Amino acid sequence: MIGKNRFGISAKIITGYAVIIVCLVISIFVVNNQLSTMQKERNFIIHHDLQVHSLTNEIEKKLLEMENGQRGYVLTGSERFLKSYNAAENSWRDDFNQLYSLLADNPSQQNNLINIKKAMMSWVNETGEPIIALKKNNKNAAAVKGLQQENSIQNVENIRSQFEQFRSTEISLTEKRAAHLDSRNKNLTYGLISLLVVVIALSIGLALFISRSIVNTVKEVIASIKAMTSNGGDVSKRIFVKTKDEIRELAHATNDLLDSVEKRDWLQKSTNGIVGQYQGKATMNELGTTFISGVARSTDASYGAIYVRESMDSKKFIKKGQFAGTAADVGRDVFTIGEGLVGQCAIEKSPLLIENVPNDYILVSSALGEAQAKNVIIVPVLFEGDTIAVLELATLQTFTEEHKALIENVTKTFGLTVDSISGRMEIVRLLKESQALTEELQAQSEELQTQSEELQMQSEELRMINEQLEQRSLEAEGKSRELLQAKNELEEQAQELSLSSKYKSEFLANMSHELRTPLNSILILSEMLAENAASHQLAEDEEFARVIHSSGQDLLHLINDILDLSKVEAGKLEMLFNEVNMSELPQQLERNFAHVAQQKGLDFRVAMENDVPPLIYTDETRVQQILKNLLSNAIKFTERGTVAVHISSQAPKEKRVEANHWLCFAVSDTGIGIPKEKHDHIFEAFQQGDGATARKFGGTGLGLSISLEFIKLLGGTLELESEEGKGSTFYMYLPSLPEGVTTLASVEEETVLQEVAATVEVEEKLPPNEQGALGFFSGKTVLITDDDQRNIFALKTALQNEGMQVITAANGHECLTLLEETENLDLILMDIMMPVMDGYETIQAIRAQEAYQDIPIIALTAKAMKNDREKCLEVGASDYVSKPLKIEQLFSVMRVWISNQ
Partner 1 sequence: MNDQGLSQEDYLTPMEEMEIDLFLEAVYRLSGFDFRKYMRSSIVRRLQNRMRMERATTISSMQEKLFHESGFVEKILNDFSINVTEMFRDPDFFKVFRHTVVPELKKLASIRIWHAGCATGEEVYSMAILLKEEGLMEKTTIYATDMNEEVLEKAKKGMFSLQKMQTYTKNYLQAGGSEAFSEYYTADNHFAYFEPSLLKNIIFAQHNLVTDSSFNEFHVIICRNVLIYFTSELQNEVQSLFYESLCTDGFLGLGNKESLRFSQCATGYEEFSTLQKIYRKKH
- Of 444-452, 513-521, 563-571, 658-666, the window that binds partner 1 (rule: CB under 8 A) is 444-452
Please answer whether residues 894 and 859 qualify as being in contact, where contact means their C-beta atoms are separated by less than 8 angstroms: no
Supply angle C-alpha 709, 715, 717, rounded to 5: 65
Judge residue 819's burial from the number of C-beta atoms within 10 Å of its C-beta, 0-12 exposed, 13-18 middle, 19 or more buried: buried
Nearer of residues 691 and 772 to partner 1, judged by Cβ: 772
Residue of the chain from 17, 776, 793, 852 that contacts partner 1 (CB under 8 A): 776
Residue 698 exposure: Cα atoms within 13 Å on the Cβ side: 12
Q: By CB under 8 A, tell whether 762 contacts partner 1.
A: no
Q: Using DSSP bridges, classify how beta strands 827-831 and 857-862 pair: parallel, antiparallel or unpaired.
A: parallel
| Nearest distance, CB of residue 282 and partner 1, angstroms | 11
Nearer of residues 329 and 447 to partner 1, judged by Cβ: 447
Q: By CB under 8 A, tell whether 408 contacts partner 1.
A: no
Q: From the centroid of its chain, how far is CA 21?
A: 83
Q: By CB under 8 A, tell whether 767 contacts partner 1.
A: yes
Residue of the chain from 261, 756, 773, 837 that contacts partner 1 (CB under 8 A): 773
DSSP state letters, 664-709 = EEEEEE-SS---GGGTTGGGSTT--S-HHHHHHH-S-SHHHHHHHH
Q: By CB under 8 A, tell whether 157 contacts partner 1.
A: no
| Nearest distance, CB of residue 611 and partner 1, angstroms | 42
Number of H helices, E strands in the chain: 22, 20
- Of 251-259, 359-367, 428-436, 533-541, the window that binds partner 1 (rule: CB under 8 A) is 428-436
Residue of the chain from 444, 488, 583, 849 that contacts partner 1 (CB under 8 A): 444
CA distance 845 to 859: 14
Residue of the chain from 450, 495, 500, 849 that contacts partner 1 (CB under 8 A): 450
CB atoms within 10 A of CB 88: 24
Q: By CB under 8 A, tell whether 107 contacts partner 1.
A: no
Q: By CB under 8 A, tell whether 765 contacts partner 1.
A: no
Q: By CB under 8 A, tell whether 889 contacts partner 1.
A: yes
CA distance 434 to 442: 12
Residue of the chain from 43, 97, 137, 451 that contacts partner 1 (CB under 8 A): 451
Number of residues in contact with partner 1 under rule CB under 8 A: 46
Please answer whether residues 364 and 325 qualify as being in contact, where contact means their C-beta atoms are separated by less than 8 angstroms: yes
Judge residue 546's burial from the number of C-beta atoms within 10 Å of its C-beta, 0-12 exposed, 13-18 middle, 19 or more buried: exposed
- Of 119-127, 290-298, 383-391, 884-892, the window that binds partner 1 (rule: CB under 8 A) is 884-892
- Of 424-432, 536-544, 585-593, 669-677, the window that binds partner 1 (rule: CB under 8 A) is 424-432
Nearer of residues 245 and 802 to partner 1, judged by Cβ: 802
Nearer of residues 436 and 462 to partner 1, judged by Cβ: 436
Long-range contacts of 797-803 (CB under 8 A, 24+ apart): 797/754, 797/755, 798/754, 798/760, 798/762, 798/887, 798/890, 801/754, 802/773, 802/774, 802/776, 802/777, 802/778, 802/891, 803/774, 803/775, 803/777, 803/778, 803/779
Q: How far apart are the first and last CA of the chain?
A: 103
Residue of the chain from 49, 179, 441, 688 that contacts partner 1 (CB under 8 A): 441
Is residue 608 helix, strand or coil? strand
Burial letters 599-636, b for 16+ CB under 10 A, else e: eeebebbbebeeebeeebbbbbebbebbbbbbbbbbbb
Residue of the chain from 28, 179, 334, 443 that contacts partner 1 (CB under 8 A): 443
Q: Residues 453 to 512: which contact partner 1 by CB under 8 A?
A: 453
Q: By CB under 8 A, tell whether 884 contacts partner 1.
A: no
CB atoms within 10 A of CB 764: 11
The backbone torsions φ and ψ at residue 701, rounded to the nearest 5 degrees and listed phi first, read: 80, 10
CA distance 172 to 183: 16
Nearer of residues 63 and 762 to partner 1, judged by Cβ: 762
Residue of the chain from 53, 439, 496, 818 that contacts partner 1 (CB under 8 A): 439
Nearer of residues 708 and 784 to partner 1, judged by Cβ: 784
- Of 92-100, 167-175, 404-412, 891-899, the window that binds partner 1 (rule: CB under 8 A) is 891-899
Q: By CB under 8 A, tell whether 878 contacts partner 1.
A: yes
Nearer of residues 599 and 899 to partner 1, judged by Cβ: 899
Nearer of residues 161 and 283 to partner 1, judged by Cβ: 283
Picking from 645, 681, 642, 647, the residue whose alpha carbon sits closest to that of residue 664 is: 647
Q: By CB under 8 A, tell whether 840 contacts partner 1.
A: no
| Nearest distance, CB of residue 422 and partner 1, angstroms | 18
Q: Percent helix, strand, coil in the chain (nearest 5)?
A: 60, 15, 25
- Of 183-191, 377-385, 438-446, 489-497, the window that binds partner 1 (rule: CB under 8 A) is 438-446
Q: By CB under 8 A, tell whether 772 contacts partner 1.
A: yes
Q: Using DSSP bridges, classify how beta strands 578-581 and 615-618 pair: parallel, antiparallel or unpaired.
A: antiparallel
Nearer of residues 285 and 624 to partner 1, judged by Cβ: 285
Residue of the chain from 768, 823, 835, 850 that contacts partner 1 (CB under 8 A): 768
Residue of the chain from 840, 869, 871, 887 that contacts partner 1 (CB under 8 A): 869
DSSP state letters, 713-776 = HTT-EEEEEEETTTEEEEEEEEEE-TT------------------TT-B--SS--SS-TTHHHH
Nearer of residues 384 and 854 to partner 1, judged by Cβ: 854
| Nearest distance, CB of residue 456 and partner 1, angstroms | 10
| Nearest distance, CB of residue 791 and partner 1, angstroms | 17
- Of 354-362, 577-585, 663-671, 893-901, the window that binds partner 1 (rule: CB under 8 A) is 893-901
CA distance 776 to 772: 6
Q: By CB under 8 A, tell whether 867 contacts partner 1.
A: no
Picking from 103, 108, 2, the residue whose alpha carbon sits closest to that of residue 53 is: 103
Please answer whether residues 580 and 623 qualify as being in contact, where contact means their C-beta atoms are separated by less than 8 angstroms: yes
Q: By CB under 8 A, tell whether 880 contacts partner 1.
A: yes
Q: Using DSSP bridges, classify how beta strands 386-395 and 578-581 pair: parallel, antiparallel or unpaired.
A: unpaired
Per-residue contact flags (x/-) with partner 1 for residues 660 to 679, judged by CB under 8 A: --------------------
Picking from 313, 338, 325, the residue whose alpha carbon sits closest to that of residue 390 is: 338
Please answer whether residues 661 and 736 qualify as being in contact, where contact means their C-beta atoms are separated by less than 8 angstroms: yes
| Nearest distance, CB of residue 624 and partner 1, angstroms | 49
| Nearest distance, CB of residue 458 and partner 1, angstroms | 9
Nearer of residues 183 and 449 to partner 1, judged by Cβ: 449
- Of 9-17, 476-484, 502-510, 763-771, the window that binds partner 1 (rule: CB under 8 A) is 763-771
Q: By CB under 8 A, tell whether 897 contacts partner 1.
A: yes
Q: By CB under 8 A, tell whether 186 contacts partner 1.
A: no
Q: By CB under 8 A, tell whether 185 contacts partner 1.
A: no
Q: By CB under 8 A, tell whether 766 contacts partner 1.
A: no
Please answer whether residues 35 and 41 qualify as being in contact, where contact means their C-beta atoms are separated by less than 8 angstroms: no
- Of 449-457, 499-507, 524-532, 737-745, the window that binds partner 1 (rule: CB under 8 A) is 449-457
Side-by-side strand order, sheet with 727-736:
603-608, 642-649, 661-669, 727-736, 717-723
Residue of the chain from 26, 201, 431, 465 that contacts partner 1 (CB under 8 A): 431
| Nearest distance, CB of residue 833 and partner 1, angstroms | 16
Interacting residues with partner 1 (CB under 8 A): 428, 431-432, 435-436, 438-444, 446-447, 449-451, 453, 767-769, 772-773, 775-776, 856, 866, 869, 873, 878-882, 888-893, 895-897, 899-901
